[in-house]
């Protein structure tokens, strides 16, 4: 059968199942079942059981629930209050003033969370009322928060990078290190946008904050020290080769529990809530990964990924042309699927294409995270937009408009990665490798 007809059947069954309200993981399994039953002679049940067990028993996947639990623990601490108090004196002198607390706060929490939604909620629950009270424009408060929260998908520990690494069987630790510099560059782009806004629209900038001595600033910064130590502990242990990503996730949980205990926000209730929250999120992602693994096997049996890769190769596209095409592709599907689903659903087809084109899989992992970040702020399924709507009670269209400049900056980030690919490869190439 022609590969385009086969792809059409797969997509028809997938959207039929999703349209009837079937969970994404089960919908992926359903599509895979149809593919094996209709287009191969292999027993679908045996293939499904073997694939699901293999994908679920991956040692690298152990890092996923642990990093989610770390973020859940810190979400229930006083971290957001301490973060704003520690950051505000240092951000106030910058062009754009305290709006930078949204971006820097999200950057810091992203390094201990891995979740865009958790980053948005934690930083937003403190910064939104504080910035409103000081008279900052609502458009800028919401827009910067929507964009900066997506850094939770880029800066390690990133759940999307874990899923990507497990899907293509690549080192999670190397992917984590690859996300550090691009994540910081994207944060700087967001801060540059705030600075430009303050220059172009000075009348919208609130009056300066009361001046604070250097000693007082340092005293207030003490609230940031515990979380910065935790970030250094987790990321540093991986970069220096002392721990794998899975081991670093265990360090992170221990550090998060210690931080919560020191802040006196660790109780039996918060402990159970964090554990149950991590379990729910982990189970959801594990089900999606299991369905995606079975779908990958099903597509492999039909020969669809290789056929499409050969067809793309016959077009004679240069690597940069392929990247532009994939950027447009992921922007479109990001309007309908969340980030993790977009990654696991497409990797079976996309991975052979990028390998055929000679594109570095570590670099591509960072690229795909950037375009998946866009999906978090694009309607109608942009998850960050829904979270912000619940927090601010604005119309969805208004929130999407505030996030548009951040979306354009992410497109600029894709261009920067294409021109300077070493941003994503220099740290993985220089880190100390530890097997396992």
- pLDDT > 90? residue 20: no
User: Which of the given ranges, 274-288, 342-356, 400-414, has the highest pLDDT on average?
Assistant: 400-414
pLDDT digits over 219-267, tens only? 877 777 888 888 888 888 887 878 887 888 888 889 888 888 887 878 8
The residue segments making up the domain with residue 127 are: 43-430
What distance in Å separates the CA atoms of residue 411 and residue 414, rounded to the nearest whole number? 5
CA dist list (Å): 188 to 156, 294, 383: 17, 40, 23
| 425, pLDDT greater than 80 | yes
* Token code pair at residue 88: 């505000």
* Per-residue model confidence (pLDDT) at position 422: 92
Query: pLDDT tens, 135-158?
Result: 899 999 999 998 898 888 788 888
Task: Report pLDDT digits (tens) over 41-92.
Answer: 777 777 787 777 776 776 667 777 888 888 788 777 776 667 777 888 888 8
pLDDT of 148-206, one tens digit each? 988 887 888 888 888 888 888 888 889 989 999 999 999 999 999 999 999 999 888 88
Q: Is the pLDDT assigned to residue 3 strictly greater than 70?
A: no
Residue 184: inside a domain, yes or no? yes
Please tell me the distance from the alpha carbon of residue 367 to that of residue 175, in angstroms, as a whole number: 11
Residue 404 has pLDDT above 60, yes or no: yes
Do residues 342 and 375 touch, judged by C-beta distance below 8 A? yes
How many structural domains are present in the chain? 1
The pLDDT of residue 435 is 46
For residue 16, is it within any domain? no
Average pLDDT, whole number, for the chain? 82
For residue 216, being part of any structural domain is answered with yes
Q: What is the DSSP letter of 338?
A: -
Confirm whether 13 is domain-assigned. Answer: no
Q: Report, in angstroms and rounded to the nearest whole number, the Rg of the chain calculated over CA atoms.
A: 22
Question: Which residues fall within 8 angstroms of residue 27, CB to CB, at 6 or more apart?
Answer: 14, 17, 18, 291
In a domain, 48, yes or no: yes
312 found inside a domain:
yes
Cβ-contact 335, 378 below 8 angstroms: yes
Is 54 a member of any domain? Answer: yes
187, part of any domain:
yes
């Amino acid at each position: 059968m022609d590969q385009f007809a086969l792809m059409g059947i797969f997509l028809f069954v997938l959207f039929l199942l999703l349209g009837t309200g079937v969970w994404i993981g089960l919908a992926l399994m359903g599509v895979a079942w149809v593919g094996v039953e209709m287009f191969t002679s292999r027993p679908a049940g045996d293939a499904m059981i073997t694939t699901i067990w293999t994908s679920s028993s991956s040692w690298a996947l152990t890092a996923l629930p642990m990093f989610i639990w770390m973020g859940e623990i810190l979400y229930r601490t006083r971290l957001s209050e301490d973060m704003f108090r520690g950051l505000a004196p240092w951000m106030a002198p910058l062009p754009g003033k305290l709006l930078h607390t949204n971006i820097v706060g999200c950057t810091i929490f992203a390094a201990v969370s891995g979740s865009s939604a958790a980053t948005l909620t934690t930083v937003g629950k403190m910064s939104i009322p504080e910035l409103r009270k000081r008279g900052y424009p609502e458009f800028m408060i919401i827009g910067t928060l929507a964009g900066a929260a997506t850094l939770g998908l880029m800066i390690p520990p990133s759940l999307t990078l874990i899923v990507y690494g497990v899907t293509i069987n690549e080192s999670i630790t190397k992917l984590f290190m690859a996300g550090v510099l691009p994540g910081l560059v994207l944060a700087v782009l967001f801060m540059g946008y705030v600075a430009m806004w303050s220059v172009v629209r000075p009348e919208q900038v609130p009056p300066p904050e009361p001046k604070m001595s250097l000693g007082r600033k340092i005293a207030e910064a003490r609230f940031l020290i515990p979380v910065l130590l935790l970030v250094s502990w987790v990321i540093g242990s991986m970069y220096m080769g002392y721990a794998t990503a899975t081991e670093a996730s265990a360090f992170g949980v221990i550090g998060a529990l210690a931080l919560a205990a020191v802040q006196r926000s660790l109780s039996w209730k918060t402990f159970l809530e964090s554990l149950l929250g991590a379990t729910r999120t982990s189970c959801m992602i594990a089900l999606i990964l299991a369905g995606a693994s079975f779908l990958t096997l099903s597509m492999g049996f039909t020969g669809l990924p290789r056929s499409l890769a050969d067809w793309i190769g016959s077009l004679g596209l240069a690597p940069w042309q392929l990247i532009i095409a994939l950027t447009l592709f992921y922007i479109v599907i990001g309007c309908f699927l969340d980030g993790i689903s977009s990654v696991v659903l497409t990797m079976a087809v996309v991975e052979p294409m990028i390998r055929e084109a000679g594109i570095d899989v570590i670099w591509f992992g960072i690229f795909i995270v950037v375009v998946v970040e866009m999906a978090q702020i694009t309607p109608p399924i942009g998850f960050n937009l829904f979270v912000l709507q619940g927090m601010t009670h604005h119309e969805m269209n208004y929130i999407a408009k505030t996030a548009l400049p951040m979306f354009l900056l992410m497109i600029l980030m894709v261009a920067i990665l294409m021109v300077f690919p070493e941003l994503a490869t220099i740290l993985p190439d220089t880190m100390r490798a530890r097997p396992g």
